[in-house]
Amino acid sequence: MMNPRFQCWFLDFDPDPDPSLDRYRDYFLNFEPEIWARGAGDAVFGATYENGDAATFSVLTGRELGMSVRINLRRAGDRIGTEFYSVGDVGQMVDVRDMGDDQLVPLGSFVAPDQAWLVLVDFFESPFSESDKVKWMSSQDMQWPED
């Protein structure tokens, strides 16, 4: 597989068409919930391959909870991808909360910011491989609230 083209939508920054991990390191390793809250509290890193394969790494902060990490892997031609959430506490994966702006997140998916950073580093090294720095749960295996 060829090298992907990365891009990033981070807090309230302008979209970054060629992100460098160095630019984002301190936001994870020196996590300050207030800074993330002022900037919408989330970030999305995308990797796109010439053949149309695409992977996204999304992180959402939850003040004292840490960071919820979600990855979505979509092969070229697929209508939908395969989505996975990090697992910080498997017992709380059934407790899904609206974290604002209709972003439903399992409380058990929150992990420490330094752990989320290690997963992001792995994503940049191999977007289609699930990092072994956290446990993962498929969104299809989770109980989502009824509308």
Taking the model in full, what pTM does it have? 0.92
Q: How confident is the model at residue 145 (pLDDT cuts 50, 70, 90)?
A: confident
Rounded to 5 degrees, what are φ and ψ at 105? -140, 130
Question: Considering the chain, what percentage of its residues have pLDDT values greater than 90?
Answer: 66
Residue whose tokens read 């994503």: 123
Mind listing the pLDDT tens digit for each residue in 65-105? 899 999 999 999 888 889 999 999 999 999 888 777 677 89
DSSP string, 78-136: -SS-EEEEEES-GGGTT-EEE-STT-EEEGGGEE-HHHHHHHHHHHHH-TTS--TTSEE
Residue 49: CB atoms within 10 A of its CB come to 17
Is pLDDT above 70 for 1? Answer: no
Nearest to 109 by CA among 73, 82, 142: 142
Ordered by start, the domain boundaries in the chain are: 5-141
Determine the average pLDDT of the residues in 4-33: 94
